[in-house]
Amino acid sequence: MDEIPRRLTAKPSWLINQLSVHSRRLVSDAFAAAGARGYHYRLLAALHESGPASQAELGRRGRVDRSDVVAAINELAAQGYVERTPDPDHGRRNRITLTPEGARRLRDMDDVLDQVQDDLLGPLSAGDRETLTRLLGRVLAHHEQG
């Protein structure tokens, strides 16, 4: 195998990008095997943590592009994981609510995602994983402020 130039492997941006590609593939494959998608997890998690929301608000919370929110909500509603009802405070808006089946599905997806974390971060100790997560969160928060 060709050796990767040290100029690349010494750059966190390059390492993060390479790991991101690998991580995205692991998550996508694991969710596909479970009959789910990443958008499903993000939307169910947002509903679980913050409660019912409009489709637009839910998309913002879960960081799902507006063009993908409706299709993902339709899929979740068809499977009984969310309910879509008219918003009593705004006649042209829908309110999305997590169902008990949706909460169970989220727990199942948590298990899938936990396994992906174990696969992805296998060489790291629990302490190293916590440190990495904390540092990545700090860097992301810094860039989201600006």
C-alpha count within 13 angstroms, C-beta hemisphere, residue 132:
14
Dist CA 98 CA 80 (whole Å): 9
Confidence at residue 112, expressed as pLDDT on a 0 to 100 scale:
97
Which band of pLDDT confidence, cut at 50, 70 and 90, is reported for residue 1? low
Mean pLDDT of the chain: 94
Dist CA 133 CA 136 (whole Å): 5
> Average pLDDT for residues 74-90, to the nearest whole number?
92
**Beta-sheet pairing, 53-54 with 82-87:** unpaired
pTM: 0.87
Task: Enumerate the β-bridge partners of residue 97.
Answer: 83
Task: Enumerate the β-bridge partners of residue 98.
Answer: 82
Q: DSSP character for 61?
A: H
- CB-based contacts of 52: which residues, under 8 Å, 6+ apart? 95, 96, 97, 98
The pair phi, psi for residue 35, each rounded to 5°, is 75, 30
Task: Enumerate the β-bridge partners of residue 85.
Answer: 95
Domains and CATH numbers, the chain: 23-145 (1.10.10.10)
> Average pLDDT for residues 118-131, to the nearest whole number?
97
- Does pLDDT of 89 surpass 90? no
- CB-based contacts of 64: which residues, under 8 Å, 6+ apart? 39, 42, 43, 58, 72
Distance of alpha carbon 54 from its chain centroid, rounded? 18
